[in-house]
Structure 1
Amino acid sequence: MDRTSTPADTDTDTDTTTDTDTVYAVGRIGVDFRSPARRDGFRRQLGGTAGGPLPDLGDVRQLHDHLVRSPWASAGLTWTLTVDSTAVYALEAEPAVAMDWSGPLPGTEPDGSDEERLALLRRITAAPPVHPVHRALRDTLLGQSLPAGDPGRIARLTVPGRLTDRSARLFSGQVVPVVRVSAVGLARWTETPLIASAVDAVAEDAWQPRPARDRDRVAEHVRALLDQVYRHLRNRGRSAAERALNHAVTEAVLTGGLLGEGLLSAGRVPGAPAPDAADLYALDTITVARSPYCRSGSDCQDVMVRFFDPTDERRTKVTYVHTIDVSDELPVSLAPVHRFLG
Structure 2
Amino acid sequence: MSEIQTKLCLAWFIARDTVPHTTAHRYNLNSISVTPNNEVNPSITPSACACSGNGNGNGNGAPQIVYAIGQLGTDFGTEARRDSFVQAMPADTSLLEYLNQNPYEAQSLIWTLSLDATPIYAIVPVGAYASVTFDRLRAYLGDGNIERISVPGVIGGSVRLMSGQVVPVIVPEVRGMYSWSVPALVRSVMPRLSAADLTEDGLRSQIEDYLNRIYYDYRNLGTTPQERALNFSATNAFQASVAIASAAGSQRVLDSISVEKSPICRPDSDCYDVKLSFFDPENNQRSNRVFRFTVDVSDVIPVTIGQVRSWSQS
- In the superposition, the TM-score normalised over structure 1's length comes to 0.67
1:329 and 2:300 aligned: yes
Equivalent pair of 2:292/2:308 in contact (CA under 8 Å): yes
**Number of the residue aligned with 1:46:** 89
**Number of the residue aligned with 2:212:** 227
Give the secondary-structure state (helix, strand or coil) at the position aligned to 2:87: helix
* Structure 1 residue 294: Cα displacement: 1.0
Name which one, 1 or 2, has greater alpha-carbon Rg. 1
Distance 1:233 1:45, change over 3 A: farther
Equivalent pair of 1:290/1:301 in contact (CA under 8 Å): yes
Equivalent pair of 1:247/1:331 in contact (CA under 8 Å): yes
Letter aligned with residue 128 of structure 2: A
Select the structure with the greater relative contact order (CA < 8 A; seq sep ≥ 6): 1
**Per-residue deviation, residues 131-184 of structure 1 (Å, max 9, x unmatched):** 2321222222223xx3xxxxxx111101000101x2211111001111111111
Alignment size in residue pairs: 254
Distance 1:216 1:69, change over 3 A: same
**Number of the residue aligned with 2:240:** 258
* Structure 1 residue 23: Cα displacement: 0.6
**Number of the residue aligned with 1:140:** 140
Equivalent pair of 2:153/2:300 in contact (CA under 8 Å): yes
* Structure 1 residue 66: Cα displacement: 2.1
* Structure 1 residue 191: Cα displacement: 2.6
What is the CA RMSD across the aligned residues, in angstroms?
2.7
Q: Identity rate of aligned residues, in percent? A: 34
Distance 1:234 1:281, change over 3 A: same
More strand by share: 2
- Find the partner of 1:36 among 72, 76, 79: 79
Distance 1:248 1:219, change over 3 A: closer
Give the secondary-structure state (helix, strand or coil) at the position aligned to 1:134: helix
- Find the partner of 1:75 among 107, 111, 115: 107
**Number of the residue aligned with 1:122:** none
- Find the partner of 1:173 among 164, 177, 191: 164
- Find the partner of 1:246 among 231, 239, 245: 231
* Structure 1 residue 232: Cα displacement: 4.6
- Find the partner of 2:270 among 299, 304, 308: 299
Q: Distance in 2 between matches of 1:280 and 1:142?
A: 39
Give the secondary-structure state (helix, strand or coil) at the position aligned to 1:337: strand
Q: Distance in 2 between matches of 1:43 and 1:320?
A: 52
1:158 and 2:150 aligned: yes
Is there any run of 5+ residues in structure 2 with no aligned partner, and where? 1-57
Counterpart mapping for 1:303-314 below 5 A: 303-314=274-285
Is there any run of 5+ residues in structure 1 with no aligned partner, and where? 1-16, 49-54, 57-61, 100-130, 147-152, 268-278
**Number of the residue aligned with 2:176:** 185
- Find the partner of 2:290 among 316, 319, 329: 319
Letter aligned with residue 221 of structure 2: R
Equivalent pair of 2:75/2:112 in contact (CA under 8 Å): yes
Equivalent pair of 1:20/1:238 in contact (CA under 8 Å): no
* Structure 1 residue 223: Cα displacement: 3.2
